[in-house]
Structure 1
């Protein structure tokens, strides 16, 4: 793949630096050095990049089940990354061509970094939680503590701050939390480091995608206090991203890619236990099989759910990117505290973002090919009203 699409080396350098500052996960010099080195995929086949979380399941199962067209997508195993910053940098610098990426981060790439990223659809809904240390029995006990998030521009950071504010807590960054002042210090941490940090007592809680929440419960070093889906109904954490020039150059290939991902989503939903085994046996996810299985099959009756009708514990696999969510997400980003640049949001029209960032032509066609909206539990109108309740 070429490094075209309007991104030159200078843009990549600026983008990598922005990701390092906003993500807090890698050094600026390291990211800048990587972006300055041409690592573009030149194989002629699309390479998949992912984080080892259950949110990536459709991309991984599509590979495991041989659903990708070998003329379009590389048959090599998808490339595993340990942090969102490293995955985003690899995507921006064209080391990988197809990724599942945090929705707010995709907004950042488009409007702050200047990336040509385009969202084809959602990879999943729900699938994240706030996990607390065993001694924490109510949210107020997090005052004066550190809580880890996976990235500043993540639905986790947005939702956890909504939850904190609604319950009398104030999130702070780069300053020690105070119990008397009711503040909670947020820190960015790689998902793979969160469970050990909770076990060591260096943080009191973390919010992240599964199976890290399930893994903490399995090891009895933490418990799920609230599913993020119990705060924002059927929210999208990760979206399916490609570069705009791929869409322009090879629309048939993009359609084939989208068809494969949707076929994998249906396959997962029809056999979650089997999916857990495939993700584990295929060594796509390094977490223990029981944690992966639990993340895909949480029993509702084991948790105190504020909105049981939302099924917030259920990791969903519906692909349609609702415009209402994109707009509400961008509006929520304005109210979110981050350690990094937020000035780009002043130049963004929340109502226009969906049309500029999302290209849903391919997912609409794929939904039709795979049985229509009902096959994915979607409304026939493909519209919805956002439901958010952080109380």
Structure 2
């Protein structure tokens, strides 16, 4: 599967448009990196969210074998569109991407991208203005999402429909019609927008939910892990040619991320301090809260521990299948024709290469049954 320059340019433009962000600032920031990059080490790109923790800790704690990952600071991007574009244009080599976005890149744009494993599970929430206590109060309002092809968009739409609300795009929401307008917004803009009343809520990864709560401008209404147990949000994504030409580097990268995930779980407060020390711009209390949630609000499924972001790398095929089955019913602003060709039983084998993570976990191949409750 090859990606022509024409398709790449059109695809990148589509990603920028779909993300609702011009991306110019982000790309200008990344222009300082060497685009020819003949050194051989992998450059990390990331969004400033706790989803990126395994990659950032792998870099900061040197859990990846020497010579595999660039020692320079990972490149920070402010939107998913900008991060995806930088990855497709080889400005960065390894990223954490939304699982549905990885599907779009491979099947919608024809990019040779592969998922090596999961970066994390859970770690997201629906945060609303303090006065909103029931989902019905979202009728007639705007709710922000980070990207059309995101688990956040999928789950918030399922949640809204379960409560008799209808998501809409490119049209104003109406209270009488019980509609909720979804808008794409950069995660860093969500807390200010909620604070000034531009939106009634947002669904995104932490620490933005925790930051809104710490600042007193919003409250967590539902953890997304309370809607889909231990769902994958972001995955570790690389280009196919890395696996073909340098499998030993792919293995070193995967081993380093697995080791970083274990390190995070060993001492989450220490991880928060590392991330606040230069990787993430949010204040330490928000990052610490996002990694620990010592006093979560009542949840529907307490046995799921939905407030707790999880760090494990094995990519369950059952999740990929359930994700592909959910995507066609999700309203997005963009071309969805690529979904027509997808066979839920085949996508995992085509998109995910789990041999490296299986080796890193000692050959484990666990299975599970997906537990989903959008009510």
TM-score by structure 2 length?
0.95
Match of residue 241 from structure 1: 237
Match of residue 339 from structure 2: 345
Query: For 1:226-375, what aligned pairs fall within 5 Å after superposition?
Result: 226-281=222-277, 283-299=278-294, 301-368=295-362
Indicate whether 1:135 and 2:119 are aligned: no
Question: Paired residue for 2:209, among 205, 208, 213?
Answer: 213
**2: CA distance, partners of 1:245 / 1:18:** 24
Question: Paired residue for 2:189, among 167, 170, 193?
Answer: 193
- Could you give the per-residue CA deviations for residues 28-49 of structure 1, whole angstroms, max 9, x where no partner exists? 9x99xx99xx945333211000
- Could you give the per-residue CA deviations for residues 99-154 of structure 1, whole angstroms, max 9, x where no partner exists? 00000000000001111100000000000000000010111000000000000000
- Could you give the per-residue CA deviations for residues 323-370 of structure 1, whole angstroms, max 9, x where no partner exists? 1100110110000000001111011112111010000000000011xx
Match of residue 371 from structure 2: 387
1:67 CA drift (Å): 1.6
Indicate whether 1:167 and 2:163 are aligned: yes
Indicate whether 1:126 and 2:122 are aligned: yes
1:15 CA drift (Å): 1.7
**2: CA distance, partners of 1:22 / 1:336:** 14
**2: CA distance, partners of 1:124 / 1:27:** 25
1:12 CA drift (Å): 1.5
Match of residue 179 from structure 1: 175
Q: Matched residue of 2:330: which SS?
A: coil
**2: CA distance, partners of 1:156 / 1:302:** 20
Give unmatched runs, 5+ long, in structure 1: 374-380
Give unmatched runs, 5+ long, in structure 2: none
Q: Matched residue of 2:346: which SS?
A: helix
**2: CA distance, partners of 1:168 / 1:14:** 37
Indicate whether 1:78 and 2:74 are aligned: yes
Aligned length: 370
**1: CA distance, partners of 2:37 / 2:115:** 20
CA RMSD of aligned residues (A): 1.8
Q: Are the equivalent residues in 1 in contact too, given 2:226–2:301 (CA < 8 A)?
A: yes
1:293 CA drift (Å): 0.1
Q: Are the equivalent residues in 2 in contact too, given 1:327–1:354 (CA < 8 A)?
A: yes
Aligned pair in 2 of structure 1 residues 41, 162: CA closer, same or farther (>3 Å)?
Answer: farther
Aligned pair in 2 of structure 1 residues 277, 180: CA closer, same or farther (>3 Å)?
Answer: same
Q: Are the equivalent residues in 2 in contact too, given 1:40–1:93 (CA < 8 A)?
A: no
**2: CA distance, partners of 1:74 / 1:322:** 29
Which contiguous aligned blocks of 4+ residues in structure 1 show a shift greater than 6 angstroms?
Answer: none
1:27 CA drift (Å): 7.0
Aligned pair in 2 of structure 1 residues 103, 15: CA closer, same or farther (>3 Å)?
Answer: same
Q: Matched residue of 2:84: which SS?
A: helix
**2: CA distance, partners of 1:89 / 1:195:** 25
Q: Matched residue of 2:329: which SS?
A: coil
Q: Are the equivalent residues in 2 in contact too, given 1:41–1:96 (CA < 8 A)?
A: no
- Could you give the per-residue CA deviations for residues 28-85 of structure 1, whole angstroms, max 9, x where no partner exists? 9x99xx99xx945333211000000001001001111112223111111111000000
Indicate whether 1:224 and 2:220 are aligned: yes
Q: Matched residue of 1:207: which SS?
A: strand
Aligned pair in 2 of structure 1 residues 27, 343: CA closer, same or farther (>3 Å)?
Answer: farther
**2: CA distance, partners of 1:39 / 1:145:** 43
**2: CA distance, partners of 1:270 / 1:40:** 38
**2: CA distance, partners of 1:157 / 1:191:** 13
**2: CA distance, partners of 1:109 / 1:266:** 29
- Could you give the per-residue CA deviations for residues 246-268 of structure 1, whole angstroms, max 9, x where no partner exists? 10000011001100000000000
Q: Matched residue of 1:206: which SS?
A: strand
1:20 CA drift (Å): 2.5
